[in-house]
Chains A and B, each alone.
Chain A
Amino acid sequence: MDDALMAQLKERAPGLAALFSAGSKAILDADDLAALEEARVATLGRKSPLVEMLRSINTLDPEERPVLGRFGNIVRRELEALVEAREAELKRAALDASLAGERIDVTLPGQPFPSGHEHLVSQTMREVEDIFVGLGYRVAEGPEVELDYYNFTALNTPPSHPARSAHDTFWVREQREAMPEAVVDADRGVLLRTHTSPVQVRVMEQQEPPVYIVCLGKVYRRDSDATHTPMFHQVEGLVVDEGITLADLKGTVHFFAEEFFGGDRAIRVRPHFFPFTEPSIEVDVNCELCGGKGCRSCKYSGWLEIMGAGMVDPNLYGFVGYDAEKVSGFAFGMGVERMAMLKHGIPDLRLFYENDVRFLRQF
């Protein structure tokens, strides 16, 4: 009740004013819900002076009736509002008090919803796939047990090339034929692919340019130490289209390096040799660990070698029936584990195939 109304009430109906003062005091003084109920009954109950007065309003002097009627109802509404407000206040205080007693150890661990982990090789391959899909490539696949023709011959590898030796390449024994252990030579023509490049040839045999593909998968080489396992994974990319240049290769590789390793990365392109590309290059990315100053990771060169690449050797087009004067292309290949090792600082390749969950769950 605001001050103006109170003043009016005091002047016009001093009795009601007194009832209001006494009632509101009783309500506000109530310090629990029972006391409040008591105060409500005393102030607003059927037998309270206020209600009795309002009930007997007809017996009053007709002159006073409108004034008392009007002010009486105002006082009742005001008091009812006070009761409501006080009740809410007391309830909240009671709840506060009860909540204050319910305390848990919030530092105990939460209910676990254990989620598994994607193998780091799968993660890395997925990231690489997504980068190249974004560039408009498709993902091609091919057999792991492969013909010499696709793995070597059609990739311009001479018959006497050392990569074909039983020292470097796993050869497959003829189907269901017991061969003497000692007979190991390359002439039988079935091997475990040593790179993902044979998929390139298979794709080019199947379709005309333009070709924009990446192939990812397992490859096998007879090697085993901290940086070599007899099975590992490769990513290979191939583009054949009209007017493809070495500049396109450089741009693509640089884009990839920045997407994969993150940030502003510099690349360095060095000449190299591969039988299936001409010109051939190796690509380095600047070492983030030392900022180019030189560290153990980059063998103190400031550069990390990430891939071999080059312009598709025109001889390959001969194998698949493309016209080397009309189309040109580039190819690149990199080791998935090596990329992951560089990105995550993993020292030993063998960790990838031990499948220790303490390793798997780090990524």
Chain B
Amino acid sequence: MKVPFGWLKEYVDWQGTPEEVADLLTMSGTEVEGIAWVGAPRDPENLSRFVVGRVVTRERHPNADRLSLCTVDVGEHNGGVKQIVCGADNFQAGDVVAVSLSGAVLESGLKLKKANLRGVESDGMMLSEQELGYEAKSPGIVVLPSDWEVGRALSDYLPVSEAVLELELTSNRPDCFSIYGIAREVAAASGAKLAPPPTAGPAVLGGAPAEASIAVQVTAPDLCPRYAVRVIRGMRAGDSPPWLKARLTHAGMRPINNIVDVTNYVMLAWGQPLHAFDAAKIAGGTLVARRAKAGEKIVTLDGVERRLDDEMLVIADVEKPLVIAGVFGAVDAEVDEHTTDVVLEAANFSGASILRTEMHTGIRSEASNRFEKGLDPDLVPGGLDFACRLFAELCGGTVAPGMVDVWSSGPTERRRLSYRPARADALLGYPIPADEQAAFLRRLECEVDEAGSVWTVSVPTFRPDLEREVDLIEEVGRLAGYERAPETLPLHRVAGGLTRPQQVRRAVRRALMGCGLDEVITYSFIAADALGPLGFSAGDPRLEPVRLANPMSAEQAVMRTTLLPGLLGAVRWNIDRHNEPPNLFEIGRVYLWDEPVPAPVHAAEPGAVLPREPEVVGIVLSGPLAPEEWTGAIRATDYYTLKGVVEATLAAVRLRGDYAPLGAAAARFPYLHPGKAAMVAVPGIGMAGVLGEVRPDVVAAYGLEDLSVHFATLSGRLMDVALGTALFEELGAYPPAVQDLAVVVDKDVAAATLIELARRAGGKLVQEVRVFDVYEGDQVPEGKRSLGLRVVMRSAERTLDEKDIASVRRKIVAALEREFGATLR
């Protein structure tokens, strides 16, 4: 909300600067986001160059048909009569005008100088409303009331320069959505004197009573606790005076005409939204506050036809709805330039209902923004009186006696709360003297009965947010100022720490970074069609994602069921920006309906379920892990690179995987190359993930043609079994013996099988068997390959001799030959 400082000062005796009041408000809970200075630059010297003048003579410019040559009296102390050339023609000799003298700097930054305009000297400028900042565009100069004193500073009458406070209000304080409400906050927080409410009614009433012109019926009292109108006759619609336009403009509203402007002005000042109906356009002389009929239509002022439903309140006449109550008017009964008689509405609508209507129609207005917070019904009569006075003063209206007031909810009682000042001390953490607490509450217009240790506090009706003792404690705390509270730390009785899964997550992340992979975080939502290219078969739970009812875009319509599309998207982003093909990982959740999690009965409808959210580690390699550099060749990334990364990651959390071809599981991972993919099992949880080359057609479907991509996904269940305690093993005092064997076997004999057999056959002296060479080619028969196995033997008791070594070697060779027909090369 925008609060012009000059307007605020009309309601509270504030002696400080705009910056000081901004600080006061911010530190007492009404956040001031900034101060905008509008109008001419604010230094006093500049402002003294804006004065009230009177046109003495007006003649045609000798050399220009469209210009006039004027003499303007700006007062003796401002230099007497000035010669001014002017392009406007909406004025005549004798008019009082706004003049900026030579040397003045306007809002636009333009500095006025004596100028020669078509051969005639011009000393100063007569200002338009546009130049004063009150209108976006104005056809001529502004003609001021004839009783304004010539020579006086213009700023005595008009805000030539104004500080506008930009407030960010919270939804629990409907009372703050008005200038007077903010003035009340300033008074409460500073102790400054608050002016009485600006709601005095018109001095004179006349004509037939209001009831003679209008009847009111409320058929939906739940949505409309109070509906009141007054009648004003004989109005002349026209322009508002400059001061009113200035205030509306500074507060962020556009001046329209004097009748509408008054309703807006009163809403801004007092917080009660008003609606002016043209009495002549109300069919049957009756206003009805009723639920809309389902499917009923209304054309709102913006020309849009809106469909209503029966949860929405409308204000109708006997024929048709005229207004979506509290939200937006229709063309049918609006005031216009021919309006003379006005029925002025001030009502109280259910905040929840207004909010719902806003959501369903998508309309929000200054009025609905106030109603949705839940206003005080006691604002109604003041709002009507205030506006009626202005109608009489500014629009020539005659206010009819009486108010038609349907107050279904009846007068609001002041809420009475118990309050323990000691409880405030206990919650805030420092003592505030009881009499000071009582004074703070009284500044908020509470009545306080201080008898005993439990007080009774009665709360003003404009503070619906004060419902409990703790709400009053907050008021006392904030008015005392939170800077008064000391800083302490709680006295702990518990110890902190990370759970094992949380530690594993960190270790996995460190391991993957150690392999040279960069961590990414991709959006949890993906496009519904992003899963298509992965080729899952029908019925796969990964094809049944958690769908958003109201996604922001089709690209973010469903929750991911696998990390792959997001990771490929991250690869693509980098490729598209000419970065090297990246190697990335992500640790995040996927969302699956396959085993729904039942919701606690107290928290949801019976039978309600949530999806499962398993955590997954996703790894994607799209380029070499080491950059190309001058010392030598780079290793191209292949399945074994990926496997190395997976092995290193598992090792970092003290796990060892067993790798096996996908086999029957291949159908569950149709996006992987069937011959270059494996699953990895881990003791304790079984299958812990898959790894392999992504099929080239899948890679291409994500816009990455000609890129070789490898992907691994590891189950978060690892976190439950990982990082077990390592137990010490003897180092061994005796040296190892190493034997290398080159064995030729059928190509499809898995290396892991050979190693396992060699270990078993070799017996307990074998410490390790590893592959140090793989060869296929001319030196071995077709369909075979040669594997170089390095066998490391060691005894805990002695140095091994030739006999021991030969015996182990013999046993291994024999077993390999027996099982796989292996020959030595």
- Which residues of A does B touch, CB under 8 Å? 108-109, 111-112, 114-119, 121-122, 126, 129, 132-139, 143-150, 154, 158-162, 165-167, 170-173, 175-176, 179, 183-184, 188-190, 192, 205, 210, 212, 218, 220, 222, 224, 230-231, 239, 241, 243-248, 250-252, 254-255, 268-273, 278-282, 299-300, 311, 313-314, 328, 352-358, 360-361
Contact = CB atoms under 8 A, between A and B. Distances in A.
B494 interface: yes
B352 A114 contact: no
A109 B630 contact: yes
Given A254-B487, A355-B573, 12 more contacts: A112-B629, A135-B489, A143-B610, A147-B599, A149-B604, A171-B550, A212-B496, A218-B524, A245-B429, A250-B429, A311-B470, A355-B584
Contact of B523 (A150, A230, A361): A230
B559 A190 contact: no
A270 B29 contact: yes
Contacts of A172: 546-549
A246 B429 contact: yes
Interface stretch (B82-90, B170-178, B381-389, B660-668): B170-178
Interface stretch (B299-307, B497-505, B760-768, B778-786): B497-505
B298 to A, nearest CB: 20
A198 B171 CA distance: 21
A116 B515 CA distance: 7
Contacts of B725: none
Contacts of A271: 27-29, 474, 477-478, 482
Nearest to B566: A355
Given A109-B630, A119-B519, A279 B473 contact: yes
B634 to A, nearest CB: 10
A255 B515 CA distance: 36
Contact of A212 (B485, B494, B579): B494
Contacts of A224: 552
Nearest to A273: B170
Contact of B579 (A252, A328, A358): A358
B514 interface: yes
B687 interface: no
Contacts of A243: 426, 491
Given A353-B522, A355-B521, A247 B352 contact: no
Q: Which of B488, B550, B584, B608 has the most CB of A within 10 A?
A: B550
B514 A184 contact: no
A217 B570 CA distance: 20
B770 interface: no
B596 A175 contact: yes
Nearest to A129: B498
B33 to A, nearest CB: 8
B172 A247 contact: no
A141 B28 CA distance: 35
A91 B694 CA distance: 61
25 contacts: A108-B630, A109-B629, A116-B518, A119-B518, A135-B489, A136-B494, A144-B591, A162-B171, A162-B359, A165-B359, A171-B548, A171-B549, A173-B549, A175-B593, A212-B492, A218-B524, A245-B428, A246-B429, A246-B477, A251-B487, A270-B29, A271-B29, A271-B477, A272-B170, A360-B519
Given A116-B517, A184-B550, A356 B523 contact: no
A136 B492 CA distance: 7
B544 to A, nearest CB: 6
Instruction: Identify the 6 closest CB pairs spanning chains A and B, nearest first.
Output: A247-B429, A245-B429, A271-B29, A273-B170, A279-B474, A116-B513
B551 interface: yes
B470 A269 contact: no
A112 B626 CA distance: 7
Interface in B456-500: 468, 470-471, 473-474, 477-478, 482-483, 485-499
B627 interface: yes
Contacts of B520: 119, 355, 360
A57 B751 CA distance: 78
B502 A210 contact: no
Interface string B159-178: 00000000000111100000
A358 B610 CA distance: 38
B610 A311 contact: no
Nearest to B523: A231
B690 to A, nearest CB: 22
A271 B172 CA distance: 13
B236 to A, nearest CB: 41
Contact of B496 (A136, A190, A311, A356): A136
B66 interface: no
Q: Which of B485, B549, B579, B602 has the most CB of A within 10 A?
A: B549
Contact of B519 (A114, A116, A149, A189): A116
Contact of A247 (B487, B570, B627): B487
Contacts of B352: 158-160
Contacts of B490: 212, 239, 241, 244, 248, 252
Nearest to A158: B352
B524 A231 contact: yes
B715 interface: no
A287 to B, nearest CB: 15
B26 interface: yes
B201 interface: no
Given A162-B355, A246-B428, A246-B429, A170 B550 contact: yes
Nearest to B582: A357
B613 A328 contact: no
B679 interface: no
Contacts of B626: 112, 114
Interface in B601-633: 602-605, 608-611, 613, 625-627, 629-631
A111 B517 CA distance: 17
Interface in B4-52: 26-29, 31, 33-34
B593 A115 contact: no
Interface string B162-205: 00000000111100000000000000000000000000000000
A348 B171 CA distance: 28
Contacts of A165: 359
B577 to A, nearest CB: 6
Nearest to B632: A111
A181 to B, nearest CB: 8
Contacts of A241: 490, 493
A356 B426 CA distance: 51
A219 to B, nearest CB: 10
B717 interface: no
A170 B29 contact: no
B494 A210 contact: yes
A177 to B, nearest CB: 9
B556 interface: yes
Interface in B413-456: 426-430
Contacts of B593: 175-176
B499 A116 contact: no
B488 A247 contact: yes
Given A247-B487, A251-B488, A147 B604 contact: yes
B234 interface: no
Contacts of B477: 246, 271, 279
A220 B593 CA distance: 19
A315 to B, nearest CB: 8
A269 B482 contact: yes
B514 A116 contact: yes
A126 B515 CA distance: 20
A250 B482 contact: yes
Contacts of B27: 268, 270-271
A154 B497 CA distance: 27
A280 B29 CA distance: 9
Given A190-B608, A357-B518, A133 B548 contact: no
A270 B517 contact: no
A160 B372 CA distance: 9
Nearest to A251: B487
B574 interface: yes
A107 B174 CA distance: 69
Contacts of A279: 427-428, 470, 473-474, 477-478
